Amino acid sequence: MSEKEYPRNSPCPCGSGKYKVCCAQKGIKYVTKRGEVSRVAPMSPELSDVFQEQCKAFVAKFGREPGPGDPILFDPDADTPQPIDEEMVRREMNEAMKAAGIRDELIYAYNKTGYIVTSENQHLIPEDGARAFQEAVDEFKKMFGDRDTYDHNRLPLRGGTRRRGPSK
């Protein structure tokens, strides 16, 4: 069974209204396959290069091409294809964001929602995701004010507050 374009008059998968007046207008594309809705993510040339490098690394590590159920971002220390530990990725992401000078309230909001919302990408983020991100920023400011340091690794991993919608 092949993928089909998501019907424009259907409710938007992000939950913010009709697809044709919500995500479709933002250029966000969804498809359906076997009754499941998936978000189509176009690849930039840079992302395509990273994908190709990860496929080469997979072949070098496991001696075969990655299959449909194999993780592209895999644990390099595992003997079999295993996804990278999400907690480890989160710690490294937090450290990288701190090193890049990203403000604590934005790191907090990322950890809470899974989104990084900027003026450049805001039009690509579902309305409920952008709203949740802003609410998390406001929550951080209310709880911690202008505190200089905060240990983001202590926040539970997206504590169930991020709605995991279609992501393929």
More confident residue, 147 or 89: 89
Q: Is the pLDDT of residue 165 over 70?
A: no
To the nearest 10°, report the CA torsion of 30, 159, 101, 86: -70
Q: Is the pTM here over 0.75, yes or no?
A: no
pLDDT tens-digit series, residues 56-100: 999 999 999 999 889 988 998 999 999 988 888 888 899 999 999
Q: Identify the pLDDT of residue 163.
A: 36
Q: Is the pLDDT of residue 161 over 50?
A: no
